[in-house]
Amino acid sequence: MISRSGFTSQSFACTLLILLHLSSSGCATQGISNVHHRLNVPQKIESERMLDKSYPKVWDDLVEKFSDRFYVINDMDKDLKKIQVSFQSSHPEYYVDCGETTRTYRHEGDIETHVYNDAESVSYRVADEKRQHPYLSSYKFIKRNTYLEGNSVVYIKINNNKTFISINTIYKLYIEVTGQSYAKPSNGNPFMTEKLPSITEVLLFETNSPTTHTFDDGEKITCSSKGKLEREILYFPKY
């Protein structure tokens, strides 16, 4: 998700000194990268449930389950029949779907393939479009860290002696991308030439309101709830 060209002028000057020792090793083969994105197609998420159970029992079940799980109860009002909770996760891919990416890096017979949900953390290599010098191949090592925060509001209502539960969750997905540029001689070990600036994107979406985000390099992803968290909460109350 980072699109930047190779060396700074200072790092390239340092590299020229190294090249004096590499001229006898021959030209380096530049790597090749391929990427394919499968866009997420959001599905309708179940967000309401009806129970043949009294309101006090449903309320007690919800409060008990929220207290036992990783949720933080931020606000609850039994008269208003509303509970508000928040949560955090270092594995957003368990709860949200942002599509799937397949990345392949090929270099001198070696192949690296990474297939991942665009909501999860991953590290990979990306070949530069052009090598900086005939004696060096160049690539970027990218580290993509993701983190999820959420805020769920649960409403309870009574109608014709039936108890209804409804939920809406606001998701906040953080995507932080860091990286380094590397150069590698044909017969030597790679060395770092530049540290890339960190970039953080924040995506907001709700239970049945997905979002489409466009990154600086033109890549688009659509993020939506998987419905896992909503189903879990809706079925906290026992039959």
For 115-153, b where at least 16 C-beta lie within 10 A, e where not — what string?
Answer: ebbbbbbbebbbbbeebbbebbbbbbbbebbbbbebbbb
The pair of structure tokens assigned to 207 is 């239970």
Bridge partners of residue 88, in order along the sequence? 149
* Per-residue confidence band for 81, with pLDDT thresholds at 50, 70 and 90: very high
pLDDT at 92 over 70: yes
**Segment 152-196, tens digit of pLDDT:** 999 999 988 899 999 999 999 999 999 999 888 877 788 888 999
Closest CA to 97 of 38, 154, 48, 141: 38
* Per-residue confidence band for 105, with pLDDT thresholds at 50, 70 and 90: very high
**Segment 194-221, tens digit of pLDDT:** 999 999 999 999 999 999 998 887 888 9
pLDDT computed for residue 29 by the predictor: 80
pLDDT at 11 over 60: no
Q: What type of residue is 130?
A: K
* Per-residue confidence band for 90, with pLDDT thresholds at 50, 70 and 90: very high
pLDDT computed for residue 2 by the predictor: 41
* Per-residue confidence band for 108, with pLDDT thresholds at 50, 70 and 90: confident
